[in-house]
Amino acid sequence: MRKNGKRTLTSARASSRNALVSRRRVSAAKQKRVMLGRYIIADPKICHGKPTIRGTRIMVSQVLDQVALGMDWVSISERWSGSIPKEAIAEAVRLSSQAFLEHAPKYAASTA
């Protein structure tokens, strides 16, 4: 619908959109910060709930990408201005390994 040359939402679409936004707010409010380890957290208020290094906005996936590229852990820590201790990198690798081992049988079964 156009009004004064501008697109406007119909009242049905507007109320549907408002309900969707409201549900998202309620859903986000119910989610809480989860400590995945000593150094890794998932907080819906930080990086959309993706796992991050505690006290930073550095996503675990970024650190794991650097590990996969073969960077040594000292270089990774230096790359992030020392805000990631080597123990946090070790925890990220350990947790990702556990997740892989836990979910690998599901993928193997689906490809057989």
Our measurement of the distance from residue 19's CA atom to the centroid of its chain's CA atoms, rounded to an integer in Å, reads 25
The amino acid sitting at 90 is: A
Q: What is the pLDDT of residues 89-98, one digit of tens each?
A: 999 999 999 9
Residue 46 and residue 40: Cα distance in Å, rounded?
Answer: 12
Q: How far apart are the first and last CA of the chain?
A: 51
Q: What is the pLDDT of residues 2-11, one digit of tens each?
A: 556 655 555 5
CATH class of 31-111: mainly alpha
The backbone torsions φ and ψ at residue 3, rounded to the nearest 5 degrees and listed phi first, read -135, 120
- Its pTM stands at 0.68
User: Order of strands across the sheet with 52-53?
Assistant: 34-35, 40-42, 52-53
Q: What is the pLDDT of residues 64-75, one digit of tens each?
A: 999 999 999 999
Give, in order, the Cα–Cα distances in Å from 65 to each of 23, 34, 71.
Answer: 34, 22, 9
